[in-house]
Chains A and B, each alone.
Chain A
C-alpha cells in the first residue's frame, strides 16, 4: 500500500483547495500574523504546565510528568459527517452492551456459531464472576471510547473499541478551553458544537445507574465517586479533573472499605456509603479477594457487594471481553447479530493469526502489515512492517510463530492527515479520532467531537501519546 498517493487530508483536497469543513477556519488563518501564531503556540505549553495537565510516563524516571504536545490547528468535522458517525457509534455501542450481556448469560452468539466459544473461555478478560449477573440498569459499558480512523471522504473505520476505562476525555475538554482562550474571535466566526457539558452528562449518566441499595437510603441524589490508583498513575490528572468537574469525591482504595454491605469511604465524619463508583482501576486490581491478591489499589470484598446490589461499578468488571483485539475482528457479525442491521461503521480488515491460513499470509507479508498483540494496548508490543528493519521483522516473525494466538494483523492504513502548525507553516500529519460515548438506561449519549490524536513525526502512523503523539481540539460544526 502506498500511503503517499492515497492519503486523504482533512483540510485540503488533492488539488490544494480547501475543503468545506475548513472554509471558515482557512479564511481566519490567512488573516493571522505568523509570528503571533508562533508565539501563541509556545504559550500554550506554558498554560498546560501551569494547569498541571500532564501524564506520567511509565518506564521513565520515577514520577516524571510529561505534557502531551498540543497542536493548535483543529480537526474539523462537518455536521453531515458527524451525523453519520454518531449513528454508527450508537449502533456499535448498543451492540457491545448486548454482546456483554449475552456473553455473561446464555451465549446465544456462540450457539449461533458467530463467535468461537474458545475465544471467551480462554480469554483473561472474561470474568466468570460476572456470569449470570445483571449490572444495575443493565449497563455494562457506561463510558466507551471508539477509536476511528479515516481513509477517504466517506471511509471512517473503527480501529479499536475501548470498553474498559477509556482515557483522554480531559484532553478533549482542556484542548477546547485552551483554543477558546487563545483564539476567542475564531469561535465567533466558526460555529462549533460545545463539549464542555461532558462532565455534567457523565454525572447524570452515572447517577442514572444507581444500585438497588441506593433506594433504601432515602436521599434523592446518589453519591458518585471516582476511584483512582493515586497521584503516580499516568492518568491521575484526568481522574482529579473529572471528579472535580462532576463534584464527586476522588477516592483511593485506602479510603474505602465494606461497611454494612455497602462500599463506604472514610470521611472526616465517619464512613459514608458510595452508590456509583466510576473506577479508573483495572479489573485485575479491583478486588484483592477476587482477583489479584497483591493489589492495594482496590477494595477487598467489593465484588461481593457489587453482586448483592450494594454498588454500581462503572464500567462493569469484565467488559474487556468486548474490546479484546481477537473479538474485534468479529465485530461486524456481532453488530449484525444484536441489532439486525449491517454495521454502519466498517472494521479494519483483520487477519487472526490463530487461523493457519491467515498466519501464513501474515508471515509472508509482514513488511506491509501492522501486527498487534491481542491483549496489548497503548502502542506497545506491536510491529509496524513498513517502518521496521529486516532484523526487527525477523525477530517479530519468531515471536509470532511461537504464539500465533496472541496476534492479529491489519494492513498499514493510509490514515487521513490533518495539518499541524510548524515553524514553517502548516504541515500534514496522520490523525485518528476518539469520540466519547456515555451509556445509561436513558440511552446513548455521544459528545460531539472527541480527542484527535496526531503523530507529530512526519510520515509516522503512531498517534499514541506514550509514543510521542500529540493532540488537537476536535470540532463538530453546527448545522
Chain B
C-alpha cells in the first residue's frame, strides 16, 4: 500500500479516537458540574481544559471561565485546532484521501458522522443540549468503529488503523491520569486519606471505566486500585497495558506480512516489557507523574518510528 495511505488511515483513526475521548472527558466534567452542590464552581471545566492541554491557548485568547464558553471552545471553536469538530473534519479528510483503502461502509459512516456533527456544531451548544450532543459524538464514533470492525479486510491497512487507534488511546488515558494524579496520589501520606469520591468517579467516567471498576472491586474505591486499573488491567480496553497488547499484536501482524521487523518493533517491545514488569507499587515509588511523562514520550517515539519505518511521508 502507499505510504500516504498508511498515514491517512493511521491519522483518521487517531482523530476519531481523540474526538471520542474528548467528548467522554467533557461528559465527565458536565456530570461533575451537575452533581456538585456548588453550581458556580468551574474547577472541573478548568481541569478538562488542562487535560487536553488547551488551558493556555484558551486563557490567552481571553476565554471566559464559564462552562458554556469552555465546552463550546472544546467542541467547535474555529480558533481551536484541537476541537472535536476539527478532529471529525480531520478524520473525514483523511478518510477521503484514503477512500480506496477503506470499505464503502467505513467511508459512508465517516462521511455521515461528519455531516451530522458539522450541522449539529454549526451553532453554539447550550447546556440544555450538551448531553445530547456528547452522546451523539460518542455514538457516531462507535458507528465508524463498528464499520471498521465489521467490514475491513484484516490486512496491513487494518493494522495501521488499529495502531493509530491504540497509540492515541494510550496517549489519552495517560494524559487523563497525569492531570488527575493529584487526586489519586496527592502526597506521600496518601494511603488511607479520605479523598473525594466524586473526583474518582469523574476520573473513571472520563475513560468509561466507572462501571467496570465498580464491578471488579465490589464498589470499593481505592486510589492505588484505580491507578492500577487504568494502567495495568489487561481486561480494561482503555488501560495502557491493553492498548500496548493491541499495538503488539498489530505490529506483529505487520512483521509477518513484511517478512521482518523494524526499529518501531524494537522500541515497542522494550516499552511493552517495561509495562508488563512494573507494579503499582513501583509506579508509586518512582512517582506517577514521572512514570506518565516517560510513557507519553515513549509513545510519541514509537509513533514517529512507525511513521518513518513505513514511509508515511517523503
Contacts and interface: CB of A to CB of B under 8 A. Distances in A.
A51 interface: yes
Contacts of A241: 99
A269 B258 contact: yes
B314 interface: yes
Interface in B1-46: 1-4, 6
B2 A249 contact: yes
Contacts of A240: 96, 99-100
A254 B100 contact: no
B99 A252 contact: no
B100 A266 contact: no
Contacts of B314: 254, 266
Contacts of B2: 249, 251, 255, 265-268
Nearest to B104: A51
A268 B3 contact: yes
A427 interface: no
Contacts of A230: 97
A381 interface: no
B6 A268 contact: yes
A255 B4 contact: yes
Contact of B97 (A231, A266, A270): A231
Contacts of B107: 52
A49 B111 CA distance: 9
B314 to A, nearest CB: 7
Interface in B63-110: 93, 96-97, 99-100, 104, 107-108
Given A49-B115, A51-B108, A252-B4, A267 B99 contact: no
A270 B111 contact: no
B99 A268 contact: no
A250 interface: yes
A267 B156 CA distance: 12
B310 interface: yes
B96 A244 contact: no
Nearest to A230: B97
A266 B1 CA distance: 9
A236 B96 CA distance: 9
B311 A266 contact: yes
B1 A268 contact: yes
A269 B314 CA distance: 13
B311 A52 contact: no
B245 interface: no
A152 to B, nearest CB: 42
A243 interface: yes
Interface string A253-266: 01100000000011
A270 B104 CA distance: 27
B3 A266 contact: yes
Contacts of A39: none
A248 B5 CA distance: 13
Contacts of A49: 115
B96 A52 contact: yes
Most buried by A among B100, B111, B258: B100
Interface in A4-62: 49-52
Interface string B254-274: 000010000000000000000
Interface residues of A, number: 24
A50 B310 contact: no
B99 A270 contact: no
B112 interface: yes
Contacts of A267: 1-3, 311
A252 B98 CA distance: 11
Contact size class for B? Answer: 20 to 34
Contacts of A254: 4, 314
Interface in A381-431: none
A241 B310 CA distance: 25
A268 B156 contact: yes
A266 B111 contact: no
Contacts of A255: 2-4
B4 A266 contact: yes
Contacts of B108: 50-52
B96 A268 contact: no
Interface in B161-220: none
B4 A50 contact: no
A251 B156 CA distance: 18
A50 B111 contact: yes
Given A52-B107, A269-B258, A231 B1 contact: no
Interface string A432-468: 0000000000000000000000000000000000000
Interface string B143-156: 00000000000001
Contacts of A248: 100
Contacts of B97: 230-231
A52 B108 CA distance: 8
Interface string B295-314: 00000000000000011001
A331 to B, nearest CB: 37
Nearest to A225: B2
Contacts of B258: 268-269
A268 B311 CA distance: 5
Nearest to A271: B311
Contacts of B99: 52, 240-241, 244, 250
Given A51-B108, A52-B107, A255-B2, A268 B100 contact: no
A176 B169 CA distance: 42
A250 B115 CA distance: 24
Interface in B276-308: none
A50 B106 CA distance: 11
A163 to B, nearest CB: 26
B100 A243 contact: yes
Nearest to B306: A268
A244 B100 contact: yes
B155 to A, nearest CB: 11
Contact of B93 (A51, A231, A244, A249): A231
A226 B3 CA distance: 16
Nearest to A250: B100
B263 to A, nearest CB: 14
Contacts of B4: 252, 254-255, 266
A236 B258 CA distance: 31
Rank and list the top 6 A-B pairs by shortest CB-CB distance, nearest first.
Answer: A240-B99, A268-B310, A244-B100, A266-B3, A250-B100, A243-B100
13 contacts: A230-B97, A231-B93, A240-B99, A241-B99, A243-B100, A255-B4, A265-B2, A266-B311, A267-B2, A267-B311, A268-B3, A268-B310, A269-B258
Given A49-B115, A50-B112, A254-B4, 10 more contacts: A230-B97, A231-B96, A240-B96, A240-B100, A244-B99, A249-B100, A255-B4, A268-B1, A268-B3, A268-B310
